[in-house]
Amino acid sequence: MTQNTSGSWKIFRAYGIDVYVHWSWFIALAVIYQVAEGDRNPGLFLLLYVTLFGLVVLHEYGHALACRSVGGSVGHIVLWPLGGIAFVQPPPRPSALLWTIAAGPLVNLGLIVVGVAGIMVAAAIGAGEAILGYLNTFVFLNAILFLFNMMPAYPLDGGQILQAVLWYFMPRVKAIYYSSAVGLAFGGLMVAVGLLGYLNPEFGRTLPIMPLWMAILGGYITWEAHRTFSAAQGMMRRQ
Ligand SMILES: [Zn+2]
């Protein structure tokens, strides 16, 4: 794993782990702010953006602390517009990889339970609409982060969970081969769906940020999955 932090700023350190934000995260913030302007209260928008930032950091800490609990090495955490990355290296066992990767989405699942409990309490004590609206969005953001990360598109968490599960039944190189092949297919599909959305005339009236983001993310997944797939293929040929 690379420890390269160029273009990133360290914002804090907790549990012995440095958290960096890549410069492009601020461009993303500005773009999304512009998209939302006009139909959203800037204060509320900022609160939601800070919330999203916090949720991504907590998700990454889930990976990092789980990796440490199984004796793996933990580097830093970086936030960039495609999400967050925790540089973790769990010990080479399927169970260690599975726990390290699953812990991220499990944080979001736990926060959904907390959010739903909060909504029930807020409704019971007759809290204002603003508080209920915020709690709903809190649950919604966690649900999006959970579902998005659980897509079996290597290198997303779901793809790495698939790899860990396959690793129980076959040599690791084969598990990497099959999981990255699935990632390659998903990445290609995301590029296609994103581009089709981008070309849709409906988007002419708004900023096509979501389909564009999906196409870029799909491109990144395709590139990473292809790199890993080729490496696994090469290793299998040499064996
Ligand atoms: Zn994750």
The per-residue pLDDT string of the chain (239 residues; one tens digit each, 9 = 90 and over) reads 344 567 888 888 999 999 999 887 777 666 666 655 555 677 777 787 888 889 999 999 999 999 999 999 999 999 887 778 889 999 999 999 999 999 999 999 999 999 999 999 999 998 888 889 889 989 998 998 899 899 999 989 999 999 999 999 999 999 999 999 999 999 999 999 888 887 776 665 555 567 777 888 899 999 999 999 999 999 999 88
Contact yes or no for 192/205 (Cβ under 8 A): no
- What's this model's pTM, rounded to 2 decimal places? 0.87
Peptide bond into 155 cis (omega under 30): yes
Residue carrying the six token digits 């800490």: 61
Please tell me the distance between residue 142's alpha carbon and the centre of ligand 1 in angstroms.
Answer: 12
Please tell me the distance between residue 157's alpha carbon and the centre of ligand 1 in angstroms.
Answer: 5
Six-digit token pair at 197?
A: 């959305």
Please tell me the distance between residue 56's alpha carbon and the centre of ligand 1 in angstroms.
Answer: 8
Alpha carbon distance 194, 37 (integer Å): 23
The contacts of residue 2 (CB under 8 Å, 6+ apart) are: 87
Please tell me the distance between residue 107's alpha carbon and the centre of ligand 1 in angstroms.
Answer: 9
Task: Return the amino acid letter for 76.
Answer: H
Secondary structure letter of residue 83 according to DSSP: E
Contact yes or no for 19/79 (Cβ under 8 A): yes
Please tell me the distance between residue 101's alpha carbon and the centre of ligand 1 in angstroms.
Answer: 6
Please tell me the distance between residue 200's alpha carbon and the centre of ligand 1 in angstroms.
Answer: 31
Please tell me the distance between residue 68's alpha carbon and the centre of ligand 1 in angstroms.
Answer: 15
Torsion of CA 45, 46, 51, 56, to 10 degrees: 100
Beta bridge pairs of residue 12: 19
Alpha carbon distance 49, 138 (integer Å): 11
